[in-house]
Amino acid sequence: MSSPRDELVAEVVVALTDTLSDGFDVADLLYTLTTACVELLDVDAAGVLLVDEQGRLVPVAATHGGSQNLENLQILVKEGPCLDAVRVSGTVHSADLDDDVERWPAFARQARAEGFRAAHAEPVALHAEVLGGLNLFRREPGPLSSTDQRIAHFLGTAAAIGILHRRAQVNAETVNQQLEHALTSRVVIEQAKGFLAARHALDLGTAFTRLRGHARSRRRPLTEVARAVLDRSLDLG
């Protein structure tokens, strides 16, 4: 008999790979991936980096300001678990970042400043094709359980399938166009989250849950709902 978590994992996998729906949005896919990781796994924050056509990594989604800062830092200083996971196309982790100061000096120092003690990274990949990396952060030291590691790998692979399938469907859409859309959408979504939070005295997590819940229940792209909130044609109070 399946557990509630098993059922939720299955629902997330369907959401990550359902690129045929009218409401498909690559930004929604990436936010679904990061928020699902925080909901399903023993982690406190998550972020995603994707590879552009020049082989450079670009930060495209994060659940918290701290994880967003760490994704940006890894690109700037060219070190960190997510970069290593992309390079080796495999799992990279640190059960205690205090033990990895020599391995990732700038990253480990900033991660501790953001309040994180452990990190785990999985490639967003399908077979040999690596599209990016998924970074997971914990505020307490310690490794992810073997079950959580398997689920993280599974979700990263499902996201890769969704991205590649969409790219194949819309064959005129290049990797960089897909990234540009995701980054533009990210700005709109973050602005809408902040607007909702300020207007209705919500924390950012609750504001995002309202955005995503409305988008899913109406089968509308998350970015479209965010724009409606910003132009005040939609009130989610």
Cβ atoms of 33 and 48 closer than 8 Å = yes
By C-alpha distance, which of 138, 145, 27, 129 is closest to 81? 138
CATH of residue 167: 3.30.450.40
Count of domains forming the chain? 1
pLDDT at 118 over 60: yes
Q: Is residue 232 one of the residues assigned to a domain?
A: no
Amino acid present at 232: R
Least confident of 79-83, 137-141, 220-224: 220-224
Better-scored residue on pLDDT, 169 or 128? 128
Q: Is residue 81 one of the residues assigned to a domain?
A: yes
Secondary element (H or E) of residue 58: strand 57-62
Cα–Cα distance measured from residue 34 to residue 228, given in angstroms and rounded to the nearest whole number:
23
Cα–Cα distance measured from residue 66 to residue 107, given in angstroms and rounded to the nearest whole number:
12
Domain housing 14: 4-172
Q: Is residue 54 one of the residues assigned to a domain?
A: yes
pTM (2 d.p.): 0.85
Q: Is residue 195 one of the residues assigned to a domain?
A: no
Q: Is residue 183 one of the residues assigned to a domain?
A: no
Q: Is residue 214 one of the residues assigned to a domain?
A: no
Q: Is residue 145 one of the residues assigned to a domain?
A: yes
Q: pLDDT band for position 23 (50/70/90)?
A: low
